[in-house]
Amino acid sequence: MIERIRAKHTEARRNQAGFTLIELLVVIVILGVLSGIVVFAVGGIQDRGNTAACKTDKKTVQVAVEAYFAKTGAYPDAGAAGWTQLTSGLNQLLREQPSGSGYVIVLGANGAVTATGACT
């Protein structure tokens, strides 16, 4: 009787289904490839987001410069003095100088607004 129980137990162990080491390695490799694809796809989306943010910031500054001209009859000074004129005092048209990841908005003479970096 004990022999019969042992035989059934041994037979049950042989028929047990499970994953082999090779199958597990294949699954891990597939997951690694899929995660690599996702990482590169997300990077492209982030780059487009930075470009859109730069264009929006540049347009906002251009509108503020034109509003400053409409109020005062002159364009703000170039450089840091111009940012001060746009962000402080009675003619405050911007809360702060826009800044972002990978680009810089620059005030030039005669109301010129340019962007350098990721704003292409």
pLDDT in tens, 61-78: 999 999 999 999 999 999
pLDDT in tens, 17-33: 777 889 999 999 999 99
Query: 53-81 burial, b for 16+ CB within 10 Å, e for fewer?
Result: bbeebbeebeebbeebeeeeeebbeeeee
CA distance 99 to 12: 68
pLDDT under 50: residue ranges of the chain: none
